[in-house]
Amino acid sequence: MPLLISRNDITKMAVDAIVNATNTMLEMGGGVGGAIFKAAGKAKLQQACSRLAPIGIGEAVITDGFESKAKYIIHTAGPIYKEGDAQQETQLYNCYHNSLKLAAAKQLESVAFPLISSGLYGYPPDKALSIALKSIHDFLGSYDGAMTVYMIVYDNSSFAAAQKLYADVESYIDERLIDDDIPRRRKKFGANLNMDAAFCCESMVEKPAPRAAMPTPDEDMMGSCADLGAAPDMFSNLEDNFNKLLFRFIHQKNMTNAEVYKNANLDRRLFSKIISNNDYTPGKNTIFALAISLKLNLEETETLLRSAGFAISHSSKSDLIIEYYISHQNSDIYNIDDLNFLLFKHNQVQLGQV
């Protein structure tokens, strides 16, 4: 984990592997595929591909990256879009799943995908992205290793739902963004709050915990939550530390470990560290991600932030975007990928980013 949105030139990304959406014969094509061949060296890459061809739709193979910046190139054959063909959804899902399986087998830590089949193969970008995100999240949610996946998106229509919010978010930011909100917040919540802009940026980016055994997904959490009781009035004691309050929310929402860290776009090991160490407090970025995963409303989100010494700042564009999203969305349809698209569009740190 995590999955991040990017608009980079895939051939210039310094990642362990880039993915080439290709045909079943693994032949050099145009567009992004052609650019990948050129970056790697046409002759060398075609020779390597020819030895592995043909492959089936949805299958994937891996070659050396040759002269490209990536160590490896993963090649997968996407389906040609035909409306009403249910099989193609499975095939497109498998393109991502099988590519990530190859990356995991080589213990790669970073992979960049184009939006497979959305170009000449005609797959509607929003539908193609929906399948891509589901496949990637499903894989990362069950993967024990460390891996960051980049989804290269050039067409804003891919994030149709988030794009509809974009103009409203712009207005919300313009109306509320102030130069220095820190003194007022510190007076309200305490002088020890980590509210300055530089600290907020640094605290939102954190490294996952060192590799360690992950407790059994449900037993560790539900055991801890059971000791807390039903907590009919969860706001009756605002002195609870972050860890205890987090358990209360998880218990109230009746969620499992896997659901929480998967929906939060968080590294599994980082989440293990959060729930197993009472003295550990994650960064603001991670707390926001957990709030979205748990479908918290704005009041609940502010309570969770406050338990860790943070608060929503109107001097932070990122905070305002997240505040808008939580305030204006039905919590039943919170989608961290849509929120990350809004953050990405405003050049802000995405939730779950390491």
* Tens digit of each residue's pLDDT (9 = 90 or more) over 188-238: 445 444 433 333 444 444 544 444 444 444 444 444 444 444 444 544 444
Residues 6+ apart with CB under 8 A from 157: 125, 126, 163
CATH 3.40.220.10 fits 3-154, yes or no: yes
| Each residue's pLDDT tens digit, 36-84 | 999 999 999 999 999 999 999 999 999 999 999 999 999 999 999 998 8
CA distance 270 to 206: 9
Residue 58, sorted as left (phi over 0), alpha (psi -120 to 50) or beta, turns out to be left
The domain spans of the chain are 3-154, 161-345
Residues 150, 354 contacting (CB under 8 angstroms): no
Residue 46 CB neighbours (<10 A):
17
Band of pLDDT at residue 273, cut at 50, 70 and 90: very high
Q: Give the residue-averaged pLDDT of 156-173.
A: 73
* Cα 202 to Cα 97: distance, rounded to the nearest angstrom: 33
SS3 30: coil
Q: Are 86 and 36 in contact (CB under 8 A)?
A: no
- Whole-number CA gyration radius for the chain: 22
Residue 354 or 349, more confident: 349
Higher pLDDT, residue 24 or 146: 24
User: What pLDDT sits at residue 214?
Assistant: 45
CB 65 within 8 A of CB 40: yes
